[in-house]
Structure 1
Amino acid sequence: MPAFGPQAIRDMFPAMMDICSQLILRWERFAGEEIDFLHNLCDEIVQERRKHPNDVNDLLNQIINGKEPETTQQLSDENIHYQMLTFLVAELETTSGLLSFTMYYLLKNPQTLQKAQAEVDQHNEITVDVLSKLKYIDAVLKETLRLQPTAPAFVLESKHFNIEFVDPSYDLCIQETLTMKPDGFKIRVRPRQHLGIALNVNVKQSEKIPEKLKQQVKTENLRPMSILFGSNSGSCQSFADTLTSEAPLYDYNATVATLDSAVEYLPNDRPIIIITASYEDKPCENTKQFVAYLESKPKLEINYAVFGADHHDWIDTYQKIPTFIDEMIENAGGTRINERGAGDAAGDFFGAFEIEASEIGPMKLHLEIQLPKGQTYHTEDYLAVLSTNPIEIVYRVLKQFNLSSDTRIKIVSSTDTFFSTNYPVSAFDILRGYVELAQPISKRQIVTLAG
């Protein structure tokens, strides 16, 4: 379901994190809600959405407006009501069960708890990009599921509290209701000393292309491109839409469509970018016809590239369909213009796609520079932009090498260099305007500094 896909969860994460941050500070307010209240609340939410519909692509809109692909039937309000309760109870039961078992085993193994806290403490703020880096906590959760299996879920270990048994002599006793969870297991939480509460108050600017910039990119004389996607959860469709909107910046005018819609209509006058995934060893719903078409072994003379989106926990089927499509097109006579890209939902999923997208070519942007008063510029003139490093970074480097800002350095070189040579220059000036301090250090530079 697209509403639960990686892209949707990524978009929802800031709001979810905000709620969690507030709940962390209000433990005393945790309490169960009456069943009648929940039933009435579900009805009110559905009625309010029907009276005041919006275009937000959230779970509620998909349940209300969604249609079964083959019968085009929609859910009744009563069915929607119970679906909402199912999502709520199912998520609550499985997550609370996993959390309870995890807390029990962590308290029974203090060294493991300390390692989990240390891993979280490495990050000033828990963001969606940090989740894939919490390898130890991920292992703790998976080991808990192995020992006491419930439906799997991924949750965050407490960063702001120390936890301990209310009854240190408690031994695990399992209660079985809808799911399994510890019976009579209680913990006491205390704020960790000297640890601030990291609340995300900064709103990150959108990485999408501003509409004004889109308008500046003219589509005349742009090269054509076709972007085809197969998607169940919505991530591949989101990738395709993103690449389509950014294509003019790479000198392309792209169109986007599903893979099934391209059966027997694959153009050979433009590059074709294919973005798809595997679902339980099968192609996506809107990719099945395309896969069957490739199995018929057609003759293809196209230029193409494939990007696969999957999750490595499904070892036997990881990247199976993207790999199959890539190999079948090549065997049919297609020309691969770039090696198949692979995005792992358990890792840097979106970063992998951004790297793959950058392989299309150099990005072209419209740039306007306001000249100082009294300066003029004409066609064929030259414009030099002299950038400098931030002063605070310069002082950090000086401190690292025990240099003062007025230290004089004389550079001697037998080859041409952009440095001023053969006479003393201040270390501050060299670090400020002659070197790039913001880029990652190379292995060769590390060896030189270590020597």
Structure 2
Amino acid sequence: MTTPIPSPPSIPFLGHAAHMDREIPFRSFQLLADQYGEIYRLNILTRKAIVVNSYDLVNELSDDSKFYKTVPATLQEVRRALGDGLFTAFKEEPNWGIAHRLLMPTFGTLPVRDMFDDMLDIAEQLILKWERFGPTYTVDPAEDFTRLTFDTIALTAMTYRFNAFYSETAHPFTQAMGDFLAEAAVRVNRPSVVQALMRGTNAKYEQDIKTMADLADEIIAERKKNPIDKPDLLNRMLYHADPKTGEKLTDDNIRYNLLTFLVAGHETTSGTLTFALYHIVKNPEVLRKLREEVDEVLGDETITRNDLGRLKYNQAVIRETLRLNPPASFRTVAPLEDCVIGGGKYFVEKDVSIVINSWKMQCDPKVWGEDALLFKPERMMDGKFEQYPPNAWQPFGYGSRGCIGRALAIQEAQICLACIIQKFDFVMKDPSYELKLKQTMTVKPKDFYIHAVPRTDKIKRVPRPVPKRTASQVAPAVPQATTVPSSSLPENAPPLYVLYGSNSGSSEGFAQRVASDAARYGFRASFATLDSAVNDLPTDGPIVIVTASFEGEPADNAAHFVNWLVNLHDQKLVNVRYAVFGCGNRDWARTYQKIPRLIDETLEQRGAQRLVSRGEGDASSFEFFSSFDDWCQNLWKILPEEYHTTINEGQATSGIEIKELDAGTSRATALRQPDTALGTVLENKVLTASGAATKRHIVIELPENALYRPGDYLAILPTNPLRSVQRAIARFGLSPEQQITLSSVGPTSLPTDTPITVSSLLSGYVELSQPATTRDLHTLSQVESSESTKQALQESIDSYEKVQAQRLSVLDLLEDHADIKLSFGVFLSMLPSMRLRQYSISSSPLWNPTQVSLTVSIIEAPSISGRKEPFLGVASTYIAGLCPGTKVQVSVRSASAAFHPPADPMIPMVMFCAGTGLAPMRGFLQDRAYQKKAGREVAKSLLFFGCRNPGEDYLYSESDLKEWIEAGVVDVRPAFSRSPESSSDCKYVQDRVWQDRKDVIEIFDNGAKCYTCGSRKVAEGVREVLTKIIKEKDNLEDEKAAALFHRAVEASRYATDIFD
């Protein structure tokens, strides 16, 4: 008895077309694979197909004696240009066999090796371009690698030069090809009636085909007119005969195959190189190992063909890229006879198309492990690659219809990769960039941009102006640096290099403070990321580094610097002078200050001179900001003494000059165009009962091509509550519509040299509720005010813990002391810049890949400063006020690798959470629910959830959780703090865990993975009770029980997400 092949819900006439992403169909196939598992059936319009995703099924289908390659609908469209060429020929067409036998010798080992010099020629043109444009130039790798591979295939296969690097615009062929392939990919999903009405599109399609054919005919005519004696591909097609039949290729087939190699021969390899570079810059350790290998094998010499075999890690990087991101993601086969596949499980009729999803198969955890989605070139080295089961790695297809040019593609990629690693360091333009995709015939990264910085050991600073932040940007571009204008300082003012590593914005904000203050102390400051200083630490001025640790790892824009620094040898930094301030959180005791300490100690070990003892800021403490102020006070005491600068001892100044443009009698209208950083609010509803602490469910349409996984975050750029903005405006006697222009003598995150209303400025660019620091109190005390006010401020300085306990902001203090004559410019300079807030996504892409839901607590609590008005959380108040249709600046941020549901749905989960800590757990369970709904076997999970009482804030209890309990997806164990009698007399999560410890032990022993999300208090309570369970179960001492718990953490059996 066979098993029916699962299939998504369908629509009459359209079938499953509604499930297909129109822009990136590839993405839909992957999401359906996540939902339905190893196999599913599709019916799109009139086309039927079976899609397989697991290694076991693909291995079974990789048998030319039972299955033959078919030409899917998309490639049948491509046949309009490529005809019966090698890639698009039907199995019964004789020209495929003739061309295959005729051309195979061209792509043998020795002929490809002989192409080395031509490949290197083009690679050096790429190097020359990047060197000529310099480190501040924004490189589009996909575009430049397309130029590289297009020129390479033309030169090696046809001895023809397009000279793509000598033109600022793309070659007409590549433009026509890109448009043609994009249109071919979407035409297949259009009804024929609709297609017939699209006359302009049809005319452009035919013109693109003609443009490509004309070029092929031109190349052929040129060769016939001026023949050359070279055993290239074109000569073989023109002058050689099939060794089996003695037939020659027809003129049409020569054109078709010429176009096949021009299209497929460059499009796939350019994608591979772009994906490889993306993975390299996202993984500093990979870049370091590549560079070490290149330096050892090549030194500063030009690569030779004999070097390729010694570049083992280079080869592993290419192989791992082809595993994770095969450029041709699908191939299609059909059975020669009716058959049963999957070990007798699934019946498949003769000639039915079976789509092999190589992208998903090559990430099958049964072959590649639970870390299959991670980029690890090491899995391709030291004999491991050869030990994987047959057909587990198929980026070039399989059998007789596999890619004929695979050796050419790999050699070309290896040469290019070695050359660029030898010559450049790489920094992403946006360090927070997460992979986005675009699709034509192949899949490539979208909007991926880098800076290629020439490698050098010389001390050289390159001016890198920071682009102004626009309303649509969520994060500033890097790695450019800004410098204080020369007109504001003496010509001989020494430089001060301020470098930061920051994800959440705290370190960047502190670094900006240092840079902004520099002019007052006689220094000319520059401001840049740590990654921009790789191989380039200056010696002509002090370096101030402000950075943080994130779960023991460096910030996104500091990872390359840390990797470079720890791998330096000897006293390489003898003349460098530096100071380090580290941000961290003591709740992560094992990794607290790990990266700042590593940087500080390693700099000293490599010969650099420490100017000021390392400072530490603990984000979990009220003293976070004051500790930075204290460190800065010491810094500005030592630096002027060391560098003999003059301090401006005047009254408090801001460095910000304000020019009034409009008194507020008229309103300026600004039109903003939405971009990829803008999401759209679709739903915003209250989840809790009236009178309870408000929690909301928000649904947001993501920006185009944004991707997420269960467990990821949505970063939101909020605005201040209207009440706070109005308070500030009233305190300074301004009009909300009053327009001003700001200018600054140092780096600032405020909008400069452009008109802006006071209301917009205070709303979106500064934090108004941040507690005042001791530095702020000193600044206020220096401003003109009454003696009683100065005395009160001094008392606040002397007993600063009261200011912290009451969370008194600068605005609070100004309202309490109306006689303080502080200028608006100084006030602005005292405020931190507005920062992103991250919220756990509470949905799964299997529910909707283009939308996310958030589950958010709205902070509105009694003011601890004694004010009548309640304290309003900045971001939650902003979110609470979002109406459907509102555009909001958002960005998907990846969670840690451990905080995602297991790839295998048969691995159970144990989840511990309280309040809105349920958010990621809801995403995990929704993922499993949609997998089960699709017919997959799913292990039942266990959820421990804490809230106040069942009728007040038991989130989703009557909707999702109820449905998932009934479906057998989850067993929920609540703990009601105010109604413990309703939860087996358990008040908190840890109480319920202890009571139900037998169930916890049983599910953990069955391989479960555990997750905690919530406050520090919740996480600590869960950790303590789990350790207690381990102690009781095995009768262990406290230390041994704690060690076993930490072993589970290190083995990725337990992961946490703590949000305060």
* Alignment TM-score, normalising by the size of structure 1: 0.40
Larger CA Rg, structure 1 vs 2 = 2
* Alignment TM-score, normalising by the size of structure 2: 0.18
